[in-house]
Amino acid sequence: MSNDALIQTVALEKTYRTGSVETPALNGVDLELHAREFTAVAGPSGSGKSTLLHLLGGLDRPSSGEIFLEGTAMSGLSKDQLSRLRLTNIGFVFQAYNLIPVLTVLENTAFVLELQGIVRSERIERARKILGELGIEEYADQYPNRISGGEQQRVAVARAVVSDPSIVLADEPTANLDTTTSLDLIDLMRRLNSEKGATFFFATHDNRLLDRVNRLITLVDGEVANDELR
Amino acid sequence: MKAAIRHLKRNKGRSLLTLLAVLIPVYTLVFMFGFASANLRDMFETATGLESGHFQVREVQERATGGTLPLIDDAAPILATLDAEERVAWRTVRLDVPALASAGNRSQAILVQGVEPETVARITPIETLIVDGEYLASGTNGAVLGEELAVTLDLTVGDDVILLGVHPDAAMGVLRVPIVGIYDAPDASMGRSLIQIDLDSARALVRRPTAATAVVAMVDGVTGPWDVDVIDEVTSDISASLPAGFEIVDWRQLAPIVDSYMRILRPMLLLIAGTFFALGALVVVNTLYLSVMERTREIGLILALGSSRRRVMGMILTEAGLISGIGALYGAVVGVALIWIVEAIGGIPLPRQFADMMRALGLSGVLHLRIDTANVILSAVIMAAIAMIAALFPAWRATKFEPVEAMRYVE
């Protein structure tokens, strides 16, 4: 493993089994992701983008191969250790159902900090600060169902970066958004990357977003077909 | 906690159902125990108050006396033993003598009960049942008899009755006693067969100036059948210090029907309570399980973000604890309020046939309820605890979600 890689995957494979039917999703993916990168993984549906993100985020386990996160082999970690790793090292933005409906925007943003055991006053301060930076502080006391889908995804991004994780993994974060809102969200993520040094790795199949990334990995049939810096 | 309250508010219908699943068993049980408790208390008080007391000291019966209690020549040693025990609240001497009562050319086999008029009121209701004349006074020669016997012997207050004592341990004795009062007996057989006279007069009837057939006693601090352990403890201690030849007969032997009733009632109540608890628990499991399944994605998200499974379990159990606690509390309040209302309006009158039956047993014809604090607290706490135990399954189920699969879950 190279010394400066934030994440490295080695011969990563994932095969889903339904009864006797085996469906390969990833076939020997070797990757290195570095701090401060703003990377998109693109590819058609079924190419393995979401699977790769889930494996990198410790939400699922590979069938074979290994993932190193800051030098730690993830295959050796228990479920509880993986949970702890996700909590402290990884920020997540999902395609939908990102927010907890009974918590306000502010509470959703501070939720990860609460899980980390940070005292209330500090987590509220940090959550308000990031909401302010992302221009959505006015929604702080609203519940998720009272704000738009784009605003909800902004809140999800705020929650993902509020604890300063090593990397933010976003699985098709713009899939349910219109073009303008999608571009706004990617620009927001890009700004966090350039201003705060947050590392992003997100999956998309929306070509309109790709000219905003500085690295593009293309997956086809579970294999890295292209990996280019821009 | 805040999130748990909001979750409960989010689905008000289901939360209400869960609340009712805890509330209804609790108030039903509080009400049921309130009835059983009052009923048992009435039976116990009737049994111990009509005749037997909490216990009696008698002479050990070594030979058959045809159902008559053997004579104690001198009750003084027994009284000394009882007086030395401070937990004995009260005691009285009684002398029961089988006799023939005659007036004119009419006679009737009866039981003459020699009593101490000043103290006997605690174990006989006769003083309160006098319908003509007055009750006995200590040291005066007089008798009170039931209306039925007065009719049979054609007697009225002021008339004399001839009593022929036939106790097997004593020679026959004859006594002429004026009727000072007539009572309305709770049941006809008592009214036909029981005459009370002063203890000294009864002793004259058996020609033994210190005789008795029993010393009847009540124990301090006994408010109902739930305090029988206190009686058992006291009788056990007294039994050890009684002079030889005497024995203690406790309320169980004196009123076996009450003891049997209590033995039957307790397991029945426990069975009913268990059924209510189980039904409540099933509804709690069902509604919380549905709630967990509906929130599969949300729980998946929480797990994905790095929450520990213990925290997810805690989240579900906090909701269960809240709703169980509130349900149990309100259940107890509703149950107590219902009892209070019923008692405020004077109880529930029983239908005539039942009321007559109850009165024949010396019980009230009105159904009363009693707020038994221990039962109220136990019903509420046990139901809440069972609801929490029931919530463990859905809570455990929630911890078994795999984040990715849970977030893909389609309702």
Q: CB A94 to CB B304 under 8 A?
A: yes
Q: State the pLDDT at residue B411.
A: 47
Cα–Cα–Cα angle for B264, B267, B273, nearest 5°?
135
Mutate to test the interface with B, among A17, A102, A106, A155 (most CBs of B within 10 A): A102
Are B297 and B406 in contact by the 8 Å Cβ rule? The answer is yes
Task: Say how many domains are in chain A.
Answer: 1
Q: CB A60 to CB B404 under 8 A?
A: yes
Mode of pairing for the β-strands spanning B348-349 and A90-93: unpaired
In chain A, which among 157-196 make CB contacts under 8 A with chain B? 159
Residue by residue, pLDDT tens for chain A (230 residues) are 455 789 999 999 999 988 888 899 999 999 999 999 999 999 988 899 999 999 999 999 999 999 999 888 998 899 899 999 999 999 999 887 689 988 999 999 999 999 999 999 999 999 999 999 888 999 999 999 999 988 999 999 999 999 999 999 999 888 888 888 888 889 989 999 998 889 999 999 888 888 889 899 999 999 999 999 87
- Nearest chain B residue (CA) to A165: B305
Note whether residue B289 is domain-resident: yes
- Nearest chain A residue (CA) to B296: A97
Residue B13 makes CB contacts below 8 A (sequence gap 6+) with: none
Residues of chain B short of pLDDT 50, as ranges, are 411
Residues B184 and B209 in one domain: yes
Residue pointed to by tokens 């999902």: A94
CA distance B188 to A192: 98
Note whether residue B249 is domain-resident: no
Q: CB B10 to CB A102 under 8 A?
A: yes
Residues B202 and B156 in one domain: yes
Q: State the pLDDT at residue A178.
A: 87
Are A213 and A226 in contact by the 8 Å Cβ rule? The answer is no
Q: What is the 3-state secondary structure (H, E, C) of chain B?
A: CHHHHHHHHHCHHHHHHHHHHHHHHHHHHHHHHHHHHHHHHHHHHHHHHHHHCCEEEEECCCCCCCCCCCCECCCHHHHHHHHHCCCEEEEEEEEEEEEEEEECCEEEEEEEEEECCCCHHHHCCHHHHEEEECCCCCCCCCEEEEHHHHHHHCCCCCCEEEEEECCCCCCCEEEEEEEEEEECCCCHHHHHHEEEEEHHHHHHHHCCCCCECEEEEEECCCCCHHHHHHHHHHHHHHHHHCCCCEEEEEHHHHCHHHHHHHHHHHHHHHHHHHHHHHHHHHHHHHHHHHHHHHCHHHHHHHHHCCCCHHHHHHHHHHHHHHHHHHHHHHHHHHHHHHHHHHHHCCCEECCHHHHHHHHHCCCCCEECCCCCHHHHHHHHHHHHHHHHHHHHHHHHHHHCCCHHHHHHCCC
Q: CB B407 to CB A87 under 8 A?
A: no
Q: State the pLDDT at residue B409.
A: 62
Residues B40 and B165 in one domain: no
Cα–Cα–Cα angle for A82, A85, A86, nearest 5°?
90
Q: What is the 3-state secondary structure (H, E, C) of chain A?
A: CCCCEEEEEEEEEEEEEECCEEEEEEEEEEEEEECCCEEEEECCCCCCHHHHHHHHCCCCCCCEEEEEECCEEHHHCCHHHHHHHHHHHEEEECCCCCCCCCCCHHHHHHHHHHHCCCCHHHHHHHHHHHHHHCCCHHHCCCCHHHCCHHHHHHHHHHHHHCCCCCEEEEECCCCCCCHHHHHHHHHHHHHHHHHHCCCEEEEECCHHHHHHCCEEEEEECCEEEEEEEC
- The CA distances from residue B42 to B302, B337, B360, B364, in Å, are 58, 21, 13, 8
Note whether residue A115 is domain-resident: yes
Residues B36 and B60 in one domain: no
Q: The CATH number of the domain where A41 resides is what?
A: 3.40.50.300
Q: State the pLDDT at residue B168.
A: 78
Domain holding B129, by residue range, is 55-221
B311 contact residues in A (CB cutoff 8 A): 115
Query: B159-186 burial by CB neighbour count: b if 16+ within 10 A, else e?
Result: eebbbbbbbebbeebebebebbbbbebb
Q: CB B307 to CB A101 under 8 A?
A: no
Task: Say how many domains are in chain B.
Answer: 2
Note whether residue B156 is domain-resident: yes
- The CA distances from residue B99 to B22, B162, B188, B194, in Å, are 61, 10, 18, 10
Q: State the pLDDT at residue A155.
A: 94
- Nearest chain B residue (CA) to A87: B306
Q: State the pLDDT at residue B340.
A: 93
Note whether residue A9 is domain-resident: no
CA distance B216 to B218: 7
A86 contact residues in B (CB cutoff 8 A): 304-306
Note whether residue A67 is domain-resident: no
Are A179 and A208 in contact by the 8 Å Cβ rule? The answer is yes
A84 at the B interface (CB within 8 A)? Answer: yes
Residues B25 and B72 in one domain: no
Q: Which of B20, B21, B17, B7 is nearest to B317 (CA)?
A: B7
Domain holding A96, by residue range, is 36-47+75-229
Residues B102 and B36 in one domain: no
Residues B79 and B20 in one domain: no
Note whether residue B29 is domain-resident: yes
Q: Tens of pLDDT along B90-149?
A: 899 999 999 999 998 899 999 999 999 888 777 777 888 899 999 998 888 899 999 999
Note whether residue B282 is domain-resident: yes
Note whether residue A136 is domain-resident: yes
Q: CB B308 to CB A88 under 8 A?
A: no
Chain B residues whose C-beta is within 8 A of a chain A C-beta are 3, 6-7, 10, 297-298, 301-309, 311, 402-404, 407
- Nearest chain A residue (CA) to B7: A102
Residues B77 and B195 in one domain: yes
Q: State the pLDDT at residue B360.
A: 62
Q: Is the dihedral of CA A141, A147, A152, A155 positive or negative?
A: negative
Mutate to test the interface with A, among B305, B310, B315, B319 (most CBs of A within 10 A): B305
CA distance B159 to B99: 18
Note whether residue B204 is domain-resident: yes
Note whether residue B288 is domain-resident: yes
Note whether residue B253 is domain-resident: no
Q: CB B305 to CB A98 under 8 A?
A: no
Residues B149 and B280 in one domain: no
Residue B242 CB: number of other CB atoms within 10 A? 16
Residues B316 and B294 in one domain: yes
Looking at the complex, report in whole angstroms how far the Cα of residue B385 sits from the nearest Cα belonging to chain A: 26
Cα–Cα–Cα angle for B345, B349, B352, nearest 5°?
160
Note whether residue A220 is domain-resident: yes
